[in-house]
Structure 1
């Protein structure tokens, strides 16, 4: 009887979690314009990570985005995305960090420390950036463009942040009021730079917005983490490195996709887009995630195994999955419109 009651309780708990997840994805999906639950299949999405791939497979991904290698809309794949190259990039950067750490620990070489800071700051944000590069099914952004946004955009977003900090008092960043101001300043600074690059490259697809946002967020994260590590030591690097799976890169990707959702296709981003509900909801979500991340919440429970951070990481990724679904829906819709247009012309 006890086992049966325990089984029923477990089942109720599972059903509650399932309904909660469905409600969350449906709510976020409504922000994108579709009133449906988004099913999340993590094992399926990342199944290609565990499959063998050769150098040709990797190079085929890296050569996209030029006039000769950007596919036509008809050739774009609207199948569920299955990125894998990011895991190899992470393994490469991770192994490089380990070798530098051995150089430092075994041979006491202080010359290894700058390399550790650089590679350690780069590993997670840059690997995530490669993932967003892979899932951009339109293949219309080249590696050169991506590196430009990553480096220049990351630095510009830091400059914009410093300008806003000089204009808006932010406090210590740990009280809820101060954390909210910090979240507003940093996410707004990145948003402005994201909008600039979307206009500069004349981008029109949700996946493009995810990628440009991720590039600027990743650049911001790398330079910020390297700066903090220089001030506070390698422990800071280790903490910020694993936490980077759900911070600036993800928050900025959310905003980039939201900008695309809010603007008219083939039209530049304007001020009116920034007050559109499709943008504001995701923008406020990014600010909220950032603010709660920085907030020193007075609840001891949230400090257990970094519960506060894991909850926020989960919410951020939930938004990414919903926006990825919206990107695939957009690709299918555009292809359907193209087929309909051609059939009408042919008829």
Structure 2
């Protein structure tokens, strides 16, 4: 029935169909390394150009690139690793942007009106900020009909990293504004430090909470337990410098230092105490990070063992 000289060719491939998961064994392309390397290159160029020109108009570019680089990279990595066919790019972006903004605004309001000077202020910060991120996650995912623990981890991580990105931008801008003028060094140091610590902070804690919430399907004691656990990790993380100072003076303090502390003064530390403080603060942050990572791994393996 074909005209002479015409032969049908092989079926034409139109690429993956949106909303349909790739066949088993199909390797998905990885985009997150390009996101990271491209963003890092742009940030380094921005730092060099700002140093060379001293142009303050470049500061917002520098702040945004540095604050969003690691959070966006980790969300891209998690999306490529954990996504299901019903988790769309639009939903992840909404969780990152809208969830992050709503979380940080809600936390700021609650901390302003509910918290005051107290030895437990950092625990209060943890309880408020984790509750704000949880509320943002619930709002962003309110229309989802299918919920799995893995989806909760992914979307929780997106909300948490969005919160971290906007919070880091604020810290970086604040660090840059000094009494002596614009401090580019302080801005860059703040962005590098917070970028390195971002993967074991807000994104990790909200991923744990989202995974437990989606696995339970409703508000249960397990969700409450997970909320209190990540709030405790959050509070310990924020208070680690204060804890390290107290432990340093308890372990190595002398009578004259105790006398100054009782009088309301902070004594100058010895060289040995400076080294001990650094070891305790870094070691404490490492311990909190390991507890968070271990919790997420246990949650992931528990979900896999149950099918």
TM-score w.r.t. length of structure 2: 0.73
| Distance (whole Å) between structure 1 residues aligned to residue 19 and residue 140 of structure 2 | 21
- Given that residues 83 and 151 in structure 2 are in contact (C-alpha distance below 8 angstroms), is that contact kept between their aligned partners in structure 1? no
Q: C-alpha offsets along residues 130-185 of structure 1, whole Å, 9 cap, x if unaligned?
A: 1221222523211122111111111111222133224422437xx4x111111000
Whether the 8 Å contact between 1:85 and 1:130 is mirrored in structure 2 is: yes
Q: Which residue of 1 aligns with 2:247?
A: 299
Corresponding residue number in structure 1 for 2:19: 69
The answer to whether the aligner puts 1:157 opposite 2:107 as a matched pair is no
Aligned to 2:73: 127
What's the TM-score, normalizing by structure 1?
0.65
Residue 301 of structure 2: aligned partner? 325
Deviation for aligned residue 1:287:
0.5
Equivalent pairs counted in the alignment come to 250
Residues 1:326 and 1:135: Cα distance change in structure 2 (over 3 Å): farther
Matches within 5 A, 1:147-296: 147-171=93-117, 175=119, 177-233=120-176, 234=187, 235-263=189-217, 269=218, 273=219, 276-295=220-239, 296=242
Partner of 1:11: none
SS of the residue 1:299 aligns to: helix
C-alpha separation between the residues in 2 aligned to 1:180 and 1:231?
23
In 1, Cα distance between the equivalents of 2:138 and 2:169? 25
- Report if the CA contact (8 A) 1:157-1:189 is conserved: yes
SS in 1 for 2:87: coil
CA offset digits 1:45-71 (Å, max 9, x no partner):
xxxxxxxxxxxxxxx8xx8xxx84333
CA distance in 1, matches of 2:58, 2:224: 44
| Contact 1:205–1:327 (CA under 8 A) maintained in structure 2 | no
Q: CA RMSD in A?
A: 2.7
Task: Mark the structure with the bigger radius of gyration.
Answer: 2
Partner of 1:48: none
Could you tell me how far apart the structure 2 residues matched to 1:250 and 1:200 are? 24
300-309 or 119-128: which moved more? 300-309
Contact kept, 8 Å, 1:82 with 1:135, in 2: the verdict is no
Q: Distance in 1 between matches of 2:96 and 2:295?
A: 22
When residues 87 and 299 of structure 1 are mapped into structure 2, their CA distance, relative to the original with a 3 A threshold, is farther
- In 2, the alpha carbon distance for the partners of 1:82 and 1:285 equals 35
